[in-house]
Structure 1
Amino acid sequence: GTLKISGNNLVLLGQSNNTVWSTNLTRCNLRSPVIAELLPNGNFVMRYSNNKDSSGFLWQSFDSPTDTLLPDMKLGYDLKTGRNRFLTSWRSYDDPSSGNTTYKLDIRRGLPEFILLINQRVEIQRSGPWNGIEFSGIPEVQGLNYMVYNYTENNKEIAYSFHMTNQSIHSRLTVSDYTLNRFTWIPPSRGWSLFWVLPTDVCDSLYLCGSYSYCDLTTSPSCNCIRGFVPKNSQRWNLKDGSQGCVRRTRLSGSGDGFLRLNNMKLPDTKTATVDRTIDVRKCEERCLSDCNCTSFAIADVRNGGLGCVFWTGELVEIRKYAVGGQDLYVRLNAA
């Protein structure tokens, strides 16, 4: 193939000189020629030769990710343009056309979460919501002094990126068949090393354990009913099949209810969640008890003592317990 600038557009031509891809730009400034440039950070840009400012880029590869997220690239939604930036695996090792695995931000949930998908529809792993420091479902990102994570949620964008604070260390996120991989290159190493991979273990399998149960690698079987709940199907539960989950031993009573704190948890799927980012955390319990449909809550932003609350209504699904990391989850129970 041939890559060239034609009519102020970047055009990729096939073997028969047919157009395979084009930037399809309509803006035109005849006074300044257009150039294409690969920047040191890996961003391939088109710009006017007399304008090096990033705000003046006509097109940039960082807006069209393939299978890899580099430092300072953004993953998620540009709400002004409607652009959704997500990762897509290669079809094969030597074929960069789109494969069957994608990693994208789902903003249809009560709180946005990144989802690993097969064929754009089958969910196989979710990140958990952002808690001000990390995604609750990816504790592997904790405690790295050479990398910082940025998550922005406002009326302009909902996006995630990472930045290297030590420029001698390199890192990238790459999606491949059925997995999301973090690679690092730390001197004196001479190549990329796999730092972590998602899904990590059996507890990362979505809905392995049903509603009101959680997965714990340190127990056998790995599915456990939350205290105050019993298996919905005892026969299948005894056969180590926890997919049908658990049910309350005692129904909620309203004013007499209390909360059970579960620590080091991956927070439940946020499809039935709502968030109030301004409420004092000391009011979370009171707010949940005032809503007969509220089944649990967690702190929305864990920094500086905590701010805001996430509330769940309906059943709690897709929970797991970590040895390290995760977050406190407060589950509503009948005080009796």
Structure 2
Amino acid sequence: MISPGNVFELGFFKLAGSNTKEDGERWYLGLWFYKASSKMNPLWVANRESPLYDSKGALKIYKSNLVIVNQSGNIIWSSSNAVVPSPPKTSSVVAELLSNGNFVLRYSDDNRGDSFLWESFDYPTDTLLPGSDLAKGVNRSLTSWISNNNPSTGIYSYALLSKNQEMFLLDAKSSPVYRRSFGLKTPYALGNGYYLLLLQVTYDGLLQQFSWSPTTREKTLLWRGPRDRCDLYGKICGSNSVCSLEKVDVHVFAGCTCFKGFKPRNWRGWWLRNMTEGCQRISRLNCTGNGFQVLKNVKLPDTKDAGLERSIGPKECRQRCIEDCSCTGFANVELDCFLYSSDLVDLRTLQSGQQLYIKVATSYLGKFFISS
């Protein structure tokens, strides 16, 4: 099945090297780019946990659900979460691959997006396609393959974890490894023609963004992370400090800097370059007599405990923080005002980052601490 515009293709596939002595061949129903290289893995897999063990399976519509059956007629996978209205319509149920790569189940006389019985965009595997939205899907995460030639669920995931729609790369223990959010709801135009931007979690624990040209059928890696030790969530610098890379001869080290008006929680660990306990205020804030330290070109802290007010400019955002005695800092990004009220976690320097304003007593604005 090929999508309109010849961008995506849906069908059964067997990965190279997927044979095992115990199981023989493993076949899956999946989605890939039309005429993509065989070296490029599929973007979506339906039966990732329940493969067919020969090529004689079939995809069918059964009782208003999609099912995959093996050669014996047994169902090995089903879209059992299809939302069928009660009473059901009398029109027939059809399956369709849309131009954006969304594989949908719907009534033949109703192609409205909000009336789909089931759609693959609600159940992504390891790749996020343009037009899909993790914040609205049934499964609100991407999950890696177990290996490069086995699409079974791996140990890494990319998930929505906070009220402010912060996205995290998680390890096998569901502990954050890396924090970064992307907007991938629409195709991305670049130069002649257009390119699709996609986000993927790799089996070895990386989050990567790549583009695909439907015209040239070329895949280009744009970005991959974590890139260095400063990208690791909470592994190098603790709270209320900024991680930055320091080059000594040919070696690159990650160093931590306390905010002005803060000191290391553990001085001994700090001088031994174990800075994971982070920093604490030298003295508690009062409601008056405070100023703001400005940090430029930084990755903003984790916003899971931050308040968010929209359509507010920098001056008004600053005033909100001044008037709120519990506010510890603020940031204003495209008229989104983030008001922090607890320790600030996961900061690093960037070449072109954001500005963060940290509330400190005016008496400390001339003092700061730097790691050795």
- Of 181, 191, 197, the match for 1:171: 197
Alpha-carbon distance in structure 1 between the residues aligned to 2:151 and 2:293? 49
> Structure 1 residues 204, 165: CA separation in 2 closer, same or farther (over 3 Å shift)?
same
- Of 117, 131, 145, the match for 1:90: 145
> Structure 1 residues 50, 251: CA separation in 2 closer, same or farther (over 3 Å shift)?
closer
Alpha-carbon distance in structure 2 between the residues aligned to 1:279 and 1:18? 58
Alpha-carbon distance in structure 2 between the residues aligned to 1:91 and 1:52? 35
Task: Specify the alignment match of 2:59 in structure 1.
Answer: 3
- Report if the CA contact (8 A) 1:71-1:172 is conserved: yes
Alpha-carbon distance in structure 2 between the residues aligned to 1:7 and 1:289? 60
Cα deviation 1:156-205 (Å, max 9, x = unaligned): xxxx6232335542332111131111122358865322211121221110
| Secondary structure, aligned partner of 1:284 | helix
Matching of residue 162 in structure 1 with residue 221 in structure 2 = no
Cα deviation 1:129-181 (Å, max 9, x = unaligned): xxxxxx5xx7xxxxxxxxxx4xxxxxxxxxx6232335542332111131111
Alpha-carbon distance in structure 1 between the residues aligned to 2:214 and 2:58? 36
Partner amino acid, structure 2, of 1:193: T
**What is the percentage of aligned positions where both structures have the same residue?**
41
- Report if the CA contact (8 A) 1:76-1:104 is conserved: no
What is the Cα deviation at residue 318 of structure 1?
A: 1.4
Alpha-carbon distance in structure 1 between the residues aligned to 2:172 and 2:65? 31
My pick for the range that moved more, 315-324 or 231-240, is 231-240
Alpha-carbon distance in structure 2 between the residues aligned to 1:253 and 1:54? 53
Aligned-CA RMSD value: 2.6
What is the Cα deviation at residue 291 of structure 1?
A: 2.9
What is the Cα deviation at residue 5 of structure 1?
A: 1.4
Task: Specify the alignment match of 1:72 in structure 2.
Answer: 131
What is the Cα deviation at residue 213 of structure 1?
A: 0.6
- Report if the CA contact (8 A) 2:310-2:337 is conserved: yes
Task: Specify the alignment match of 1:101 in structure 2.
Answer: 156
> Structure 1 residues 35, 185: CA separation in 2 closer, same or farther (over 3 Å shift)?
same
Alpha-carbon distance in structure 2 between the residues aligned to 1:5 and 1:308? 46
| Pairing 1:295-314 to 2, within 5 Å after superposition | 295-299=328-332, 301-302=333-334, 307-314=335-342
What is the Cα deviation at residue 30 of structure 1?
A: 6.2
> Structure 1 residues 285, 30: CA separation in 2 closer, same or farther (over 3 Å shift)?
closer
Alpha-carbon distance in structure 2 between the residues aligned to 1:31 and 1:187? 38
Partner amino acid, structure 1, of 2:123: S
| Pairing 1:266-277 to 2, within 5 Å after superposition | 266-277=299-310
> Structure 1 residues 44, 221: CA separation in 2 closer, same or farther (over 3 Å shift)?
closer
> Structure 1 residues 164, 289: CA separation in 2 closer, same or farther (over 3 Å shift)?
closer
Task: Specify the alignment match of 1:248 in structure 2.
Answer: 281
Alpha-carbon distance in structure 1 between the residues aligned to 2:293 and 2:195? 42
| Secondary structure, aligned partner of 2:321 | helix
Alpha-carbon distance in structure 2 between the residues aligned to 1:242 and 1:22? 50
> Structure 1 residues 218, 10: CA separation in 2 closer, same or farther (over 3 Å shift)?
same
Task: Specify the alignment match of 1:210 in structure 2.
Answer: 238
Cα deviation 1:257-304 (Å, max 9, x = unaligned): 1111111121112232112225553233333233332211111x42xx
> Structure 1 residues 222, 14: CA separation in 2 closer, same or farther (over 3 Å shift)?
farther
Gaps of 5+ in 1: 128-134, 139-148, 150-159
Alpha-carbon distance in structure 1 between the residues aligned to 2:270 and 2:304? 26
Alpha-carbon distance in structure 1 between the residues aligned to 2:161 and 2:155? 17
> Structure 1 residues 308, 62: CA separation in 2 closer, same or farther (over 3 Å shift)?
closer
Q: How many residue pairs get matched?
A: 295
Task: Specify the alignment match of 2:208 in structure 1.
Answer: 181
What is the Cα deviation at residue 85 of structure 1?
A: 3.2
- Report if the CA contact (8 A) 1:117-1:123 is conserved: yes
Output the TM-score relative to the length of structure 1.
0.78
Between structure 1 and structure 2, the one with the greater Rg is 2
> Structure 1 residues 186, 48: CA separation in 2 closer, same or farther (over 3 Å shift)?
closer
Cα deviation 1:88-144 (Å, max 9, x = unaligned): 11122222221111111123x4x22011112362111112xxxxxxx5xx7xxxxxx
- Report if the CA contact (8 A) 2:286-2:325 is conserved: no
- Of 120, 128, 142, the match for 1:61: 120
- Report if the CA contact (8 A) 2:187-2:194 is conserved: no
Task: Specify the alignment match of 1:118 in structure 2.
Answer: 171
Alpha-carbon distance in structure 1 between the residues aligned to 2:259 and 2:307? 22
My pick for the range that moved more, 310-319 or 189-198, is 189-198
Gaps of 5+ in 2: 1-56, 248-252, 364-372
Task: Specify the alignment match of 1:33 in structure 2.
Answer: 92
Task: Specify the alignment match of 2:323 in structure 1.
Answer: 290
Partner amino acid, structure 1, of 2:296: N
> Structure 1 residues 211, 13: CA separation in 2 closer, same or farther (over 3 Å shift)?
same
What is the Cα deviation at residue 335 of structure 1?
A: 0.8
- Report if the CA contact (8 A) 1:276-1:310 is conserved: yes
What is the Cα deviation at residue 329 of structure 1?
A: 0.6
> Structure 1 residues 33, 105: CA separation in 2 closer, same or farther (over 3 Å shift)?
same
Cα deviation 1:26-58 (Å, max 9, x = unaligned): 347564222222223212122223333434432
- Report if the CA contact (8 A) 2:135-2:165 is conserved: no
Task: Specify the alignment match of 1:201 in structure 2.
Answer: 228
Alpha-carbon distance in structure 1 between the residues aligned to 2:339 and 2:116? 41
My pick for the range that moved more, 232-241 or 48-57, is 48-57
